[in-house]
Structures are given as structure tokens and as C-alpha cells.
Structure 1
Amino acid sequence: MLHQTSLNRYPLSAACNEIIEIAMDVHKSLGSGFDDSSYKEAFSKRLKSRRMSFEREKRFGLNFNGLIMDQQFSADFVIDDQIIVEVRSIPERLKNGYVDVLEQLVVTKPKLGLTINFYEEILQFKQVLLMEENIC
């Protein structure tokens, strides 16, 4: 029962788990030490092999009172039009590394974001979820 309640509360958890599995597979295959673009390419190939729907480098405009501003946000990946994924390979802890994803979630339709850092020996990831006000 607890498992089902969790799935109802977080309906994207199955897709999120699959994305993390893919990232772990990429990290296991490549290891650490490459630049972002190498991990993005490998991640993209794994998404294709699993037949997941995604867009790379999707741009989002910032809506200000009905006008789209020149300022745009770019997401590394948008999966199933629901989940934003930012891929990194930098020597930083992810405790503050979710800010880009949070900004993108506020501007866009997706409500779940993942920041994945391939730099360390152990894969690091951070989930960011925007919840409706009436859920909490």
C-alpha cells in the first residue's frame, strides 16, 4: 500500500528511476573524467536504445506578462515532455547544483528535474520536484 501511495504522489518516479538507471549504465561504461559532451552523447544513445522520447538542448522562452522575452533557458534533455535532465561533469557537490534545473522548472511545463554529475567516481544525482500547492 505504501508503494502505491508513493507512486500516486510521485507519478514520474518510474520514469525517473529508469533515467537514473541509464545514467548509472553510462557511468559504469565510461567511468569518470570525460567532459559533459561525452556523457551527453552516451546518455542520448542509451535513451534511444530504450526507445524513450526526448529532445536535446531544448530551448524555453521566458514569459513576462504574455510576452516572450529574449532571455531563454536551454535544457540538456527533456524526456517525454515531463522531465528535465541536466548532465554535468564538474568537480562540485550537487547540494547547490540544482539551481539551473529549478529555474527551468519554474519557466517550463515539466515539474521534475534531474541534475546528474558524472565527474566523481560514484555517480551523483539530485532530483528537483515542483509540487502543486494543494499536495502538501
Structure 2
Amino acid sequence: MTVHKTLGNGFQEVIYQRALEIEMREAGISFNREFEMPIFYRKQQIGDRRVDFLVEGIISVELKAVTKLEDVHFAQAINYLEAYNLEIGLLINFGEMSLNFKRLTNKKFKSEQLQKSNKS
């Protein structure tokens, strides 16, 4: 919220990424910016994708700077959660007059404990 209040809307996504990086560092939040993660299909790596931020190793944060969030933005954010088996994600849009953010949940999430018990 501080980033949007300070910068407003109208900048490119990378500007908001850099500002959010500063805010998270100041707050002592553990994160990786543009964290590259492999994409698998049938247990074979077919590419990779960078999530804007991986926070505390468990939360995907995808930033946008568009006038309005579209279904494709939600689909992309959900795909990242599923591909990386992350439970929670945030989709944040700095491009609107007011900051727009959505908390997303991966309905296909499998906890490590559940994965271990399924392997037994």
C-alpha cells in the first residue's frame, strides 16, 4: 500500500517491483525477487518461469501494472501456484487508481506431509 500511495499508478511493472523490494527489505521480510522455478510436464522439465516475488519461501507474489485485471492475469497467478505447489499467492495490480490486490489459494495444494504419506 505504501508503494502505491507513494508512486501512484502509471509506471511500468519493474518500477513497482523495485519499490516493493525496498519496502520488504526495510520490513525485514525474507523474499526472492524474480525467483526462477522450473515447469514440469509428465516429470520432464519443459521450461521455467520467474515469479515476481517468492516471499518467505511459501507465498507467490505476482505484480501487474495494468488498467484492469483480466481473467488471464488470475489464470497466470493460479498456474504458478499449481506449478510450484504453493498454497497462497497474491496478485497485486498497481495500474489502477486504487491499489487492487487479490489473495489466491491453490485448491490443488499438497502439503509436504501429505506428499510424504502418499509415498508411503
Normalised TM-score (structure 2): 0.82
Deviations 1:76-132 (A, max 9, x none): 000011100011111123555211111111110321111101111110011110146
- Mapped contact 2:82–2:108 kept (Cα < 8 A): no
Question: Cα distance 1:32–1:38, how it changes in 2: closer, same or farther (>3 A)?
Answer: same
Counterparts of residues 1-136 of structure 1 (less than 5 Å):
24-69=1-46, 71-94=47-70, 96-131=72-107
SS in 1 for 2:29: coil
Code of the aligned partner of 1:74: R
Distance of 1:123 and 1:111 partners within structure 2: 23
Normalised TM-score (structure 1): 0.73
Percent of residue pairs identical: 27
- Mapped contact 1:105–1:112 kept (Cα < 8 A): yes
Distance of 2:33 and 2:18 partners within structure 1: 10
Q: What is the total number of aligned residue pairs between the two structures?
A: 109
- Mapped contact 2:91–2:101 kept (Cα < 8 A): yes
- Mapped contact 1:91–1:120 kept (Cα < 8 A): yes
Distance of 1:62 and 1:95 partners within structure 2: 21
Post-superposition shift, 1:31?
1.0
Deviations 1:16-48 (A, max 9, x none): xxxxxxxx1111111111111111000000000
Q: Which consecutive residues of structure 2, in runs of 5 or more, have no partner in the other structure?
A: 110-120
Deviations 1:37-80 (A, max 9, x none): 111000000000011110011111122333222x2221000001
Provide the aligned C-alpha RMSD in A: 1.7
Distance of 1:67 and 1:93 partners within structure 2: 32
SS in 2 for 1:98: helix
